[in-house]
Chain A
């Protein structure tokens, strides 16, 4: 059986200005449908830039970024801050993507209710504005909004960075469960090594100047992504492997000799 590719990047190069140096260079990256991939790296290693290129929010200077390479579906995105519109209720925020675009879509009440249940929000919370919601609830609303158009790809840019540890761990488990239930292809940007290993099938370590993928570590063989995994010896071994890869990539951030990659 052939594997569907949700994301295919080839010969990607990105400059912020026409005359400036390349900040990101990815010769090739293929993500299969249903994979959970984390982008890990030091600050300035190009993680968020790569995510924005995948989302289509930035145009590549050279090369191709083909999200939904063999599918035809929407992309949902969760930003670092929940990014809720303050004058809308939680429900109205969730429905926002359905109202946008040249052909707004209809989302049934049943689908919305199912979505709230999926992300762990109760009906009463849906009538509240963002100022009345806690940080964790706001992030759940943002997640529901990213899923409302039933995307095949979910992009997340350090969504849990501002949350406390308990809430972060709960949301990590919830997001991984949703990823599995909905057969999503998920790309997560994170600074947190434990989070990357816990949630992902693959961890891509970025670094260098221009930034590129330094290591591609397969962590898909880890058992069930429940709480017990956090004390699993294999989980800790993989955390060490990723940490070492991150150190190796980090030592080259901003200092690596410029490599010419054939594009």
Chain B
């Protein structure tokens, strides 16, 4: 592909979503203005922006609080999830015995178990981080287990032919092979961890100052524009985590492993 074509493709990929956003905002602004609906019911984009600027220090503090809890939860998910995947990949018995419980973590609605966790563990930061971990661990377990098990059969034969030990096959083949899967799992888990942290904060009361606490407080007030601003920041936080994991993951895979998230190293 020529440089001109590449630049045109990148510009198209960046500009097209921005144009859609601007169009939606303009339609929203016009709709609120034309209908005369109260800003307590639906504020206009301009009012949301003004609330965002007005509440910036408070939103920043809440954002940092929620992000910290989510990252601690995500870290726990990665450590515990990879350990589970490691055990699942080594023994069919362990996989059969425990995998249904991993699925249970995904199917139980987090909103239902969040208050139980908060009451049982901690009505504060660690309770929120644990909820974040519970909701984000499943993608890590499934994707890493898949990466550890779905190894090219020819490469396994090559290792078998050279009398590789179980540990050598795991360390030199299965673990590196699972990295793109793990990073894909972290991408999904990152967004889930933010959701988990916000849901957890709904139930911890005012002991924390996270985005969940802020949403809970704003929903019953008359400042709907501030509620919208808080939701917007929550969304941006999720997108930021997704983008950071994607960019960092792609870089690590390409730089150190010659692979990419869309597939392992390809032949020319």
Total count of chain A residues near the partner, CB < 8 A: 28
Q: Which of B162, B165, B168, B258 contacts A129 (CB 8 A)?
A: B258
Contact mask for chain A residues 60-103; partner B; CB cutoff 8 A; 1 contact, 0 none: 00000000000000010101111101110000000011011110
A1 at the interface (CB under 8 A from B): no
The answer to whether A100 touches B268, judged by C-beta atoms less than 8 angstroms apart, is no
Find residues 43-69 in chain B having any chain A CB closer than 8 Å to their own CB.
none
From residue B66, how far is it (CB to closest CB) to chain A in Å? 35
**What are 15 A-B residue pairs whose CB atoms fall within 8 Å in the complex?**
A52-B157, A55-B161, A83-B155, A85-B155, A86-B258, A87-B256, A87-B258, A96-B162, A99-B172, A100-B165, A100-B172, A129-B265, A130-B258, A130-B267, A131-B268
Closest Cβ neighbor of A83 among chain B residues: B154
Q: Which of B154, B164, B257, B268 contacts A87 (CB 8 A)?
A: B257
Closest Cβ neighbor of B263 among chain A residues: A86
The answer to whether A57 touches B165, judged by C-beta atoms less than 8 angstroms apart, is no
Given contacts A86-B264, A130-B267, A135-B267, contact A79 B154 (CB under 8 A): yes
B238 at the interface (CB under 8 A from A): no
Q: Which of B162, B259, B266 contacts A97 (CB 8 A)?
A: B162
From residue A156, how far is it (CB to closest CB) to chain B in Å? 13
The answer to whether B267 touches A100, judged by C-beta atoms less than 8 angstroms apart, is no
A152 at the interface (CB under 8 A from B): no
B13 at the interface (CB under 8 A from A): no
The answer to whether A87 touches B259, judged by C-beta atoms less than 8 angstroms apart, is yes
Closest Cβ neighbor of A55 among chain B residues: B161
The answer to whether A138 touches B161, judged by C-beta atoms less than 8 angstroms apart, is no
Residue numbers of A with Cβ under 8 A of B are 52, 55-57, 75, 77, 79-83, 85-87, 96-97, 99-102, 129-135, 138
Given contacts A130-B267, A131-B265, contact A100 B256 (CB under 8 A): no
From residue B183, how far is it (CB to closest CB) to chain A in Å? 13
The answer to whether A100 touches B258, judged by C-beta atoms less than 8 angstroms apart, is no
Closest Cβ neighbor of B260 among chain A residues: A131
In whole angstroms, what is the CA distance A83 to B173 when docked?
Answer: 12
In whole angstroms, what is the CA distance A100 to B171 when docked?
Answer: 11
Closest Cβ neighbor of B257 among chain A residues: A87
Tally the A-B contacts, defined by beta carbons under 8 Å. 70
Contacts of A135 in B (CB 8 A): 267-268
Contacts of A82 in B (CB 8 A): 267
Contacts of A77 in B (CB 8 A): 158, 161
The answer to whether B157 touches A57, judged by C-beta atoms less than 8 angstroms apart, is yes
Given contacts A87-B258, A102-B163, contact A130 B265 (CB under 8 A): yes
Interface pairs A-B: 10 shortest CB-CB: A86-B265, A131-B265, A87-B257, A129-B258, A100-B162, A100-B164, A101-B163, A97-B162, A86-B264, A83-B154
In whole angstroms, what is the CA distance A75 to B264 when docked?
Answer: 28
Contact mask for chain B residues 12-34; partner A; CB cutoff 8 A; 1 contact, 0 none: 00000000000000000000000
Given contacts A131-B258, A133-B268, contact A81 B162 (CB under 8 A): no
Closest Cβ neighbor of B264 among chain A residues: A86
Given contacts A79-B154, A83-B155, A86-B258, contact A57 B161 (CB under 8 A): yes
Find residues 144-163 in chain B having any chain A CB closer than 8 Å to their own CB.
152, 154-155, 157-163
In whole angstroms, what is the CA distance A236 to B265 when docked?
Answer: 41
B176 at the interface (CB under 8 A from A): yes
Find residues 130-189 in chain B having any chain A CB closer than 8 Å to their own CB.
152, 154-155, 157-165, 168, 172-173, 176
The answer to whether B154 touches A56, judged by C-beta atoms less than 8 angstroms apart, is no
The answer to whether A87 touches B163, judged by C-beta atoms less than 8 angstroms apart, is no
Contacts of B259 in A (CB 8 A): 86-87
From residue B159, how far is it (CB to closest CB) to chain A in Å? 6
Q: Which of A52, A75, A80, A131 contacts B267 (CB 8 A)?
A: A131
In whole angstroms, what is the CA distance A80 to B265 when docked?
Answer: 18
In whole angstroms, what is the CA distance A56 to B157 when docked?
Answer: 10
Q: Which of A97, A99, A134 contacts B268 (CB 8 A)?
A: A134
Q: Which of A87, A99, A130, A133 contacts B168 (CB 8 A)?
A: A99
Closest Cβ neighbor of A148 among chain B residues: B162
